[in-house]
Amino acid sequence: MIRTKGDYIESLRQQKLNVYYNGKRVEDVTTHPAFIPHINSAAKTYELALKPENEDLMTAKSHLTGQKINRFTHIHQSIDDLIKKVQMLRLISHETGSCYQRCVGFDAMNALYMTTYDCDEVHGTKYFTRFVEFLKMIQSENRIVVGGMTDPKGDRSKRPSEQADPDLFTRVVEKKDDGIVIRGAKAHQTGAVNSHEILIMPTQNMTKGDEAYAVAAAIPLTAKGITLIFGRQSNEERKLETGIDAGNKDFGVVGGEALVIFEDVFVPWERVFMCGEIDFSGMLVERFATLHRQNYGGCKGGVSDIIIGAVALATQYQGTANASHIKDKIIEMIHLAETVYAGSVACSAMGSKTGSGAYYPDPLLANCTKHNVTRNIYEISRLAHDVTGGIMATLPFDQDLRSPEIGKYVEKYMAGVEGVHTETRMKILRLIENMTGGTCLVESMHGAGSPQSQRVMYQRLGNLPQKIKMAKVLAKIE
Ligand code: SF4
Ligand code: FE
């Protein structure tokens, strides 16, 4: 069983996944500077769970075995569990200032738990029992699961089976007596290079003709035929540097996403949880999306807290902290962060019990939360740049500060208020730069689905006819 950060790193070292970074195969992800920050972030989900003061948020009692388990492997059994999930995410963000990746698989497991149950009721399939066995193993071994939803999708105007290349959506290419064979890829897979299993799910609602694409299955990332290609991030080279230029060096910018390729990967039947049931594909996608959108006010609210703290410090270091417009802008940042957090708590509080017994957040409010994140995090970052000043974008290198020839100039001219070292000021500016630009903003926009996918849900769940009816009653229109 994986308990400590050390156990986790050792488990990754032993896996020897087929990972590529910048064109080269990586033998050991645990010693590669591009991956260490992401591993450190994910490791926090183990480390914090061992602290007695976090027990209530970071652990839970398994409803399957009665054992104490890491909350990231738990199936929500109450509204309280849904709220604790959000509180837990904000707590971890405060330690990492970055994505810790493990929520995607957590949400995939909860979505599959509910949906396999409902599918079995209708189709008489045996997916739920199989899934519960898989879940028990994940809980007892405390493994990290990647939630594999997004397919590459090729030509977006065409259905999966209409694509020029049929592999652009992940599909079943063969059914055998003992299992199925999978081909295709999953894109933007958060934490994939430092996880243990991938839980693939259909990427969208499937209709007649797309049965081969309605597939859900759990696959160890060590399976034969899997290749992982790590994605490039903004500030990528900073992770390879030493000194203060790296910004949030220990934990990185975002989650660390990879393209995961399945080249005829065999999956035994006991790990298959959907195979052709097109009528449940849309439900699975929607539930996963809701469960993941629920999170964003927790994790991004927590990340925002660090940005706000960093910006407030920067203003103290440069003597602007008492200007009334600066104070007001920081207050506005707090308002924006608490607004997204309030959304996450609200959709959890308004959650409900599904047929399986698992609890599910309110989908309309969860979508609203994520939609606010696509705006508020940009606004928080805009205010951070406004308040911090242009210096954040033109700061000399760490090595300039350390240079025997020009270090004295950097020291002298980059100084702020008396009593604060120039290096201290540079450290906080680099942290703000790291946390408010490039890849982290795109993560807030497209992680858990792009803004348009939330607007589609507004259209479906917003109940416009009822709103029209209420207006008619007050206006006395027949
Ligand atoms: Fe979890 Fe947030 Fe990262 Fe998604 S972006 S995996 S919710 S920390
Ligand atoms: Fe995400």
Q: Please tell me which residue in 74, 76, 196, 292 is annotated as part of the active site.
A: 292
What is d(CA 336, CA 303) in angstroms, rounded to the nearest whole number? 12
- What is the whole-number distance in angstroms between the Cα of residue 277 and the centre of ligand 1? 29
What is d(CA 412, CA 401) in angstroms, rounded to the nearest whole number? 10
pLDDT at 241: 81
- 100 ligand 1 Cβ < 6 A: yes
CA-only gyration radius of the chain, Å: 23
**Tens digit of pLDDT for each residue in 423-468?**
999 999 999 999 998 788 888 999 999 999 999 999 999 999 999 9
- 72 ligand 1 Cβ < 6 A: no
What is d(CA 396, CA 245) in angstroms, rounded to the nearest whole number? 9
**Tens digit of pLDDT for each residue in 106-154?**
999 999 999 999 999 999 999 999 999 999 999 999 999 999 999 999 9
- 98 ligand 1 Cβ < 6 A: no
**Tens digit of pLDDT for each residue in 184-242?**
999 999 999 999 999 999 999 999 999 999 999 999 999 999 999 999 987 788 888 87
Mean pLDDT of 369-386: 97
Catalytic residue list contains 103: yes
pLDDT at 142: 98
**Tens digit of pLDDT for each residue in 378-422?**
999 999 999 999 999 999 999 999 999 999 999 999 999 999 999
pLDDT at 239: 82
In the structure encoding, which two tokens stand for residue 351, read together? 């959650």
| Residues carrying CATH 2.40.110.10, the chain | 5-279
In sequence order, what are the beta bridge partners of 352? 360
Who has greater pLDDT, 148 or 253? 148
Most informative mutation of 150, 294, 299 for ligand 1 (most atoms within 8 A of CB) = 299
Q: Atom of ligand 1 at shortest distance to CA of 295?
A: 7
Could you tell me which of 397, 386, 301 has the C-alpha nearest to residue 341? 301
* Fold exhibited by the domain 283-462: Butyryl-CoA Dehydrogenase, subunit A; domain 3 (1.20.140)
Mean per-residue pLDDT over the chain, rounded: 96
Given a cut of 90, whether residue 159 has pLDDT beyond it is: yes
CA distances from 467 to 30, 236, 473 (A): 54, 48, 10
The DSSP line for 67-124 is: -EEEGGGPPP-SHHHHHHHHHHHHHHHHHHSS---THHHHHHHHHHHHHHHHHHHHH-
| Residues carrying CATH 1.20.140.10, the chain | 283-462
- What is the whole-number distance in angstroms between the Cα of residue 118 and the centre of ligand 2? 26
Q: What is the pTM of this model?
A: 0.96
> CATH homologous superfamily of domain 5-279?
Butyryl-CoA Dehydrogenase, subunit A, domain 2 (2.40.110.10)
Q: Nearest bound ligand to CA 86?
A: 1
* 208: enclosing H helix or E strand: none
What is d(CA 450, CA 255) in angstroms, rounded to the nearest whole number? 17
Percent of the chain with pLDDT over 90: 93
3-class state of residue 22 by DSSP: coil
What is d(CA 133, CA 282) in angstroms, rounded to the nearest whole number? 24
- 99 ligand 1 Cβ < 6 A: yes
Given a cut of 90, whether residue 369 has pLDDT beyond it is: yes
